Structure 1
Amino acid sequence: MTTGINAVPRSIGTDDIAVPFADCHITEEAQAAALRVLRSGWVTTGREVAAFEASFATVVGAEYGVGVSSCTHGIELALRSLDLPPGSLVLSSTMTFCGAVQAIVHAGQLPVLVDVDPKTGMPTPATIRTAVREFGPPAALTVVHWAGDVADVPALAEAAGLPLDRVVVDAAHAVGTYAGDRPIGSGCAATCFSFYATKNLPLGEGGMITTDDPVRAEWLRRARLHGMTADAWRRYLPGGSWRYNVAAPGLKANLTDIQAAMGRAQLAYLPRWQRRRAQIAARYDEQLAGIPGITLPHRPALRDGKHAWHLYPIQLRFAGIDRDAVIAALSERAIGTSVHFIPVHRLAYFSQTAVIPSIGLAGADTLFDRLLSLPIYPRLTDEQVDAVCAALADIAQQNLADRTTCKDGKGTE
């Protein structure tokens, strides 16, 4: 059957409301902070980074923060801090960004990909145990709070047979996520955050590792700058010494004072931004709930915590029309969307570098074919949300009408 939305391109009309998928809002205060640092004569890692690390750690309930160049580098450094034997097994969800698994490879370990529950997009104790039964006990586990939802980290660690100090949390989506009444950011070996342009606390680039372990925090600070015992800021301070040592391998993965100054300014807006994300999610819920073929995102029970709503991922089950056709139809209406993510086991590089269960990863495959991320960011207006919902309702109604016509023998099979 050929449906109307597949067969007839729709031109963008004058009544269409453009809805970009993402928006990177750098506030005036953050812009002014960046300019202040640019004028200061010191722009790389220095006092601004130290201040941002302390502020961010407080916000997420951790003892220490270590600013890094990206969440990906954060995960790699956190895994290196575990001091695992080379080639150790590290469990990872297959429904994650490729960089999170590349970090395992770059840390010298072997990623074991774990299936997910299609309802949540995250591994379960059962899928963890399945991987452990086939490949043996892992040395470590990475856990992603996918889309900003709450993963049950203690339950997953227990299923893997690991203590929490062998768990690295990927919180790229989880600035604003709560587990119970506590923000994500403590309780494990390390938690890694992203400040990429599309994230809940956008700086363009950058990341943060939080930990409660002072020894690990100091190791991470050195490792992010080649393993040097003294960074440039401390060496170049009045009375500082040019001498340093390198006792362990490291990376070039430091955060700059420019980014940190912006981050401190952006943090002041985070509570209102998070409230707005929750309002948008509720508005989507209200308008999309009655559309046949659309499954709303999973959300935690009140006792489990709070969703950060980094993403609003729906699942599409329209009979006779696939996800990519819906994406094209929305694009014709000037509405941007995305898919998070292509499961890692479907990417060619990881067929050679990761371990995949012999029974496959059916949960992730099922979810991927249905996934669609809708726009959600603080400056998204109610009018734009309504336009997205109206477009999806129109596509669903048009698809239903086309199928009804075909069943009546008046259409084209």
Structure 2
Amino acid sequence: MPFADCYISDEAQAAALRVLRSGWVTTGREVVAFENEFAAEVGADHGVAVSSCTAGIELALRSFDLPAGSLVLTSTLTFCGAVQAILHAGLQPVLVDVDMETGMPTPATVRDAVRAFGRPAAMTIVHWAGDPADVSALADAAVLSRDRVVVDAAHAVGTYTGAIPVGSGCGATCFSFYATKNLPLGEGGMVTTDDPDRAEWLRRARLHGMTADAWRRYLPGGKWRYNVAEAGLKANMTDLQAAMGRAQLTHLPAWQRRRAEIAARYDEQLAGLPGILLPHRPSPADGLHAWHLYPVRVQPADGIDRDGVIAQLADRAVGTSVHFIPVHQLSYFRRHTLIPPGGLAGADALSEQLLSLPIYPRLSDDQVDAVGAVLADIALGRFSRRGRQ
């Protein structure tokens, strides 16, 4: 049972073949259509397709036109690429501690970071695991307007804050279509925004800063001339990916319902097991969890720790993962980020307990029950460190 499953639907495979046969596979009409359809799905005015969520975060931060070295707050419990994006944008990451229950920063931990290093110019906010963060409260704690917030929604295709899908209301929101994500393409990302000027800037910046991409230059009647007025990246999406994305998007509601069913079944299987804490669930008023991840917390007990549980699940051919090693524990980021003087104790403690279980739409009820049974054996002492007793 693998940890993740990159399912490319029959419709997406057919769409890919259609594009391959069309004679135009790079950025073109399929990208434009996918941008419009995805933006509508998440309630944003504009979508800009990019090569990855990481590139999207960097471009979004560059669009703020901040002075070099400006402070940007970010959770330490995030993927390393999200913090590299801040550095690549020429800005200074300030790491923020997290709450043990939600795995995300709180207004109090944000204020701690601000007291230590001063008011930031911007911040990134991650909806970790697909659980909705309180973006307004975190921005207020940082004394920032929401147009200086980049939302890292790599886990949040399908997340709602209150009754509103994640994707609008901030400076920019960045999504991932990596192989393990809720809308998998293998690679790719999307930046959504309600600011038309920012969207236009992003479209130029994702392709070297050029004022006209190849598709527009080579259309009948297109002009070959273009200008480059500012620095950009090579971070565009191809029509091949976009056509697949349009097809995958039609399956998203059903896939999200299935993820919610699996999470509820895990809850039933694992509730009350000694040493296993279930993931945080938002209240209906707070929003809707996308269940990109199902991260349990393994409490040290009876000589069995998190790594021991991982080993025992592997003995039963159950794939797992850990999200994440806190950024401040990685040597590069210890040298290049700002860490509050008191340290990041919440993330340190939580990271030793986290364990992400398999969750994806094609996971069967029997497979979910099998994972629950193995965890019950471990928690109740019926399964030794080296395998069956």
Aligned in 2, Cα 1:89/1:47: closer, same or farther, shift over 3 Å? same
1:353 counterpart residue number: 336
Aligned residue runs from structure 1 range 354-393, under 5 A: 354-393=337-376
Any idea what SS the aligned residue of 1:383 has?
helix
1:247 counterpart residue number: 229
Q: Does 1:280 align with 2:262?
A: yes
Deviation per residue, 1:148-172 (Å, 9 max, x gap):
0010000000000000000000000
Contact 1:20 1:375 in 2 (8 A): yes
Cα distance, 1:398 vs structure 2: 1.5
Unaligned runs of 5+ in 1: 1-18, 403-413
1:133 counterpart residue number: 115
Deviation per residue, 1:59-112 (Å, 9 max, x gap):
000000000000000000000000000000000000000000000000000000
Q: Distance in 2 between matches of 1:264 and 1:305?
A: 25
1:6 counterpart residue number: none
Q: Distance in 1 between matches of 2:383 and 2:73?
A: 42
Residue type of the alignment partner of 1:324: D
Percent identity among equivalent residues? Answer: 77
Q: Distance in 2 between matches of 1:68 and 1:175?
A: 16
Contact 2:6 2:186 in 1 (8 A): yes
Aligned residue runs from structure 1 range 96-245, under 5 A: 96-245=78-227
TM (normalized to structure 2)?
0.98
1:309 counterpart residue number: 291
Q: Does 1:299 align with 2:281?
A: yes
Deviation per residue, 1:324-379 (Å, 9 max, x gap):
11101000000000000000000010011100111000000111000000000000
Which of 60, 66, 91 in structure 1 is aligned with 2:42?
60
Any idea what SS the aligned residue of 1:196 has?
coil
Any idea what SS the aligned residue of 1:283 has?
helix
Unaligned runs of 5+ in 2: none
Residue type of the alignment partner of 2:221: G
Aligned in 2, Cα 1:223/1:391: closer, same or farther, shift over 3 Å? same
Residue type of the alignment partner of 1:334: A
Cα distance, 1:195 vs structure 2: 0.1
Contact 2:378 2:384 in 1 (8 A): no
Q: Distance in 1 between matches of 2:377 and 2:255?
A: 30
Cα distance, 1:318 vs structure 2: 3.7
Cα distance, 1:321 vs structure 2: 1.4
Aligned in 2, Cα 1:238/1:401: closer, same or farther, shift over 3 Å? closer
Residue type of the alignment partner of 2:376: A
Q: Distance in 2 between matches of 1:69 and 1:363?
A: 33
Any idea what SS the aligned residue of 2:182 has?
coil
Deviation per residue, 1:364-400 (Å, 9 max, x gap):
0111000000000000000000010000000111279
Which of 52, 70, 80 in structure 1 is aligned with 2:62?
80
Contact 1:173 1:200 in 2 (8 A): yes
Q: How many residues align?
A: 384
Residue type of the alignment partner of 1:75: I
Contact 2:123 2:150 in 1 (8 A): yes
C-alpha RMSD of matched pairs (Å): 1.0
Q: Distance in 2 between matches of 1:155 and 1:215?
A: 26
Q: Does 1:324 align with 2:324?
A: no
Any idea what SS the aligned residue of 1:279 has?
helix
Q: Distance in 2 between matches of 1:401 and 1:145?
A: 36
**Which structure has the larger Rg over C-alpha atoms?**
1
Aligned in 2, Cα 1:120/1:240: closer, same or farther, shift over 3 Å? same
Q: Distance in 2 between matches of 1:302 and 1:279?
A: 16
Residue type of the alignment partner of 2:364: T
2:26 counterpart residue number: 44
1:339 counterpart residue number: 322
Cα distance, 1:401 vs structure 2: 9.5
Q: Distance in 2 between matches of 1:59 and 1:193?
A: 12
Q: Does 1:264 align with 2:257?
A: no
Deviant stretches of 4+, over 6 Å: 399-402
Q: Distance in 2 between matches of 1:351 and 1:397?
A: 39
Q: Distance in 2 between matches of 1:222 and 1:54?
A: 17
Q: Distance in 2 between matches of 1:309 and 1:164?
A: 25
Aligned in 2, Cα 1:399/1:46: closer, same or farther, shift over 3 Å? same
TM (normalized to structure 1)?
0.92
Residue type of the alignment partner of 2:9: T
Any idea what SS the aligned residue of 1:133 has?
helix
Residue type of the alignment partner of 1:27: S
